[in-house]
Amino acid sequence: MTKSPSEHSLSEARAEHARLHKEISAHDRRYYQEDAPTVSDAEYDALRFRYEELEKAFPELATAQSLTKKVGAKPSEKFAKVKHAVPMLSIGNVFSDEELEDFVARVRRFLGLRDGSLRFTFEPKIDGLSCSLRYEKGHLVQAATRGDGYEGEDVTANVRTVGEIPQRLDGDHSNVLEVRGEVYMTHKDFAALNARQKESGKTLFANPRNAAAGSLRQLDPKITASRPLHFFAYGWGEASMLPSETQMGVLEALRRYGLPVNPLTTLCDSAEDMLAHYQAIEAQRATLGYDIDGVVYKVNDIALQERLGFVSRAPRWAVARKFPAERATTILRGIEIQVGRTGALTPVARLEPVTVGGVVVQNATLHNEDEIARKDIRIGDTVVVQRAGDVIPQIVEVVKEKRPHGAKPYEFPHICPRCGSAALREIDEKTGEADVVRRCTGSLVCPAQAIERLKHFASRNAMDIEGLGDKQIEFFFDEGMIKTASDIFTLPAREAHMSPRLAEREGYGETSVRNLFAAIEARRRVPINRFIYALGVRHVGETNARRLARHFGDFESLRETASVAEPGGEARARIDSIDGVGPVVAEALHDFFAEPHNEREIDALLKEITLEPMPAVASTSPVAGKTVVFTGALERLTRDEAKAQAERFGAHVAASVSKKTDLVVAGPGAGSKLKKAAELGIEVISEDDWFARTGQG
């Protein structure tokens, strides 16, 4: 017979409590992280009950570490990561008939198709969340969310609860087929779910998409199972063999395999046809029973899709036509000034909450000072708010007739609301015009800028330190534990001497601290391009960071060059001349690297971390890293296509032949460039040779 807790001595109770702590934690791990519980819910509840009873009898056992104290902090805070074999990229948008016509013309130009048929699929753009389903020999083996496009979250256990998604595909199947599509929730199910949430006092979902995402990204698959989710397949990722040569053909095959494909999917022969289908679906939109936020057009012929390829993160062969923005009127309650990473003062409208296109809107962007003056927006005004898709809501105009008496024009602050430094609008030396953005000049003393810089540094596309999101950065900054980027990496060592320890603080448990420190350790080695981007130099986004990494190869060369890149000097010219990097970026780099404070911080960072080379794109290709010039009439490729192809193989395309050129691809009629190449002794090959060399037969 087990003793009742009150019959225990304190030391007996302590021993049993410790044993239960271990046992329950292990069950939690198996249940939440491994999706493989080894006890029934009733057995688990009994352990938990006994654990709590012990604490009631001996309150001294209820320390900060107790499992009963970990409210909200789930045993596992994350899903396993899945690297996508083929990235899940995004798609470009058009908002008008003209833009759609331009898209079609662009595709034709790229392919060198003057006339002749070119077909597109027309697909509704489902407003849910994209998901990749991996089938091996016809069996569902893994499901992942999109994540950042390259790495998503493993939601296999949850996807298995979605009735519409087959565990096994109909028919015989070769090795791998990754099916991509959208998980969504219908209007009816969404309303019912929110009614249930309301009844049980839980927070309501803003729209069906959030509800679908919240349901799929549940650590407990049982909760997902209780939420009615649906799926439409619209594409594929890795595939050992495709069942058709066309987009439409593949979708039809997926339907035969048992996957849902949207019944409104169809083919279009011309831009007029594409526009007509768009108008028809826009009229039908409200009666579909699920949200669509537009339509997607894709080149039907897969061989042409491959020729068109991708530009940055979106395919050239597909485009989304978004529905126009939805509008509503509400009252402007106040204007808040936010201070960004580069000191920019951004006004944000605080609104009386209003529903716009199914979403409750309380904040809207006001862009900048001039915009407020131009629209004469005053606090207390009735304003028209608009939102389109994922875009931040905007204020379109003021309803002047409803302006309250005595409302005064808004005065934009001339000092930073966070640090009190002067906030100025820079004057462009050439044009004499003031920048639209007013900036806080207290870069090094302004806490708002410091926090925003840290958020950027740790963010997903920069250093990608998991568990160090915006909220955590604010916490660590306010507590004085992380003031600069290098402090992130010294935190684990410093934390060991802190009292109280982090795990003893509210909101932090042992698991989350362990996970955070592991995430920090994991990023002590990072690719150089991520590091350059993470520094947050003005005008240096991900693309420029990659260009700089590629050009300089190692960080020290970039740093040395940029720190001495005075206007008019040789170093400045070198940066200026990097393809795609212009004088504005060169100046920003110089300003950044010449600043002693930044130099000290970079030294401190480089003591903590090791930079790795940028992950190579197609580095195995024999033209990778080479500078190529195309000249003369090309017969198999248009110029755009040739350039895109070269870039895909890691080569760099230049417009003219110089000492830096490695290879000239010449077609008939090539003239002066060919001569120059001969003078400089540069290798010249034909278009066919180019295909052979790049392994395209």
The residue ranges that bind ligand IVH (CB under 6 A) are 89-91, 123, 125-126, 130, 182, 234-235, 296, 315, 318, 320
643 is catalytic: no
Question: Any long-range contacts for 253-257 (C-beta under 8 Å, 24+ apart)?
Answer: 254/179, 256/170, 256/171, 257/166, 257/169, 257/170, 257/171, 257/173
Which residue's CB is nearer to ligand IVH, number 233 or number 451? 233
Beta carbons within 8 Å of 596's beta carbon, 6+ residues apart:
none
- Which residues in 290-343 belong to E strands, given as ranges? 292-299, 310-311, 314-315, 318-322, 326-339
Q: Are 327 and 148 in contact (CB under 8 A)?
A: no
In this structure, what DSSP letter does residue 202 have?
P
Work out how close the CB of 395 gets to ligand IVH at its nearest, in angstroms, rounded to a whole number. 25
CA torsion through residues 443, 446, 450, 451, sign: negative
Helix (H) or strand (E) holding 423: strand 423-427
- Write the burial class of residue 145 (CB in 10 Å: 0-12 exposed, 13-18 middle, 19+ buried): buried
Residue sitting closest to ligand IVH (CB): 130
Rounded to a whole number of angstroms, the minimum distance from the CB of residue 245 to ligand IVH is 18
Which of 70, 125, 455, 673 is flagged as catalytic? Answer: 125
For residue 357, the minimal CB distance to ligand IVH (Å) is: 17
Total count of residues recorded for the chain: 697
* Nearest distance from C-beta of residue 125 to ligand IVH, angstroms: 4
Q: What is the DSSP string of 393-419?
A: PEEEEE-GGGPPTTPPPP---SB-TTT
Q: To the nearest whole angstrom, how small is the minimum distance from the Cβ of residue 96 to ligand IVH? A: 17
Q: CB–CB of 81/152 below 8 Å?
A: yes
First to last CA, the chain: 79
Q: 501: which DSSP letter?
A: -
CA distances in angstroms from 267 to 191, 264, 295, 296, listed in the order given: 33, 10, 13, 12
Q: Check whether the bond before 500 is cis (ω within 30° of 0).
A: yes
Q: Let me know if 296 is exposed, middle or buried by CB neighbors in 10 A (0-12, 13-18, 19+).
A: buried
Using an 8 Å Cβ cutoff, are 347 and 335 in contact?
yes
Whole-number minimum distance, CB 75 to ligand IVH, in Å? 30
Q: How far is the CB of 130 from ligand IVH (least distance, A)?
A: 3
The amino acid that residue 392 corresponds to is I
What is the C-alpha to C-alpha distance for residues 223 and 196, in angstroms, rounded to an integer?
13
Instruction: Work out how close the CB of 95 gets to ligand IVH at its nearest, in angstroms, rounded to a whole number.
Output: 13
Which residues are the active-site residues?
125
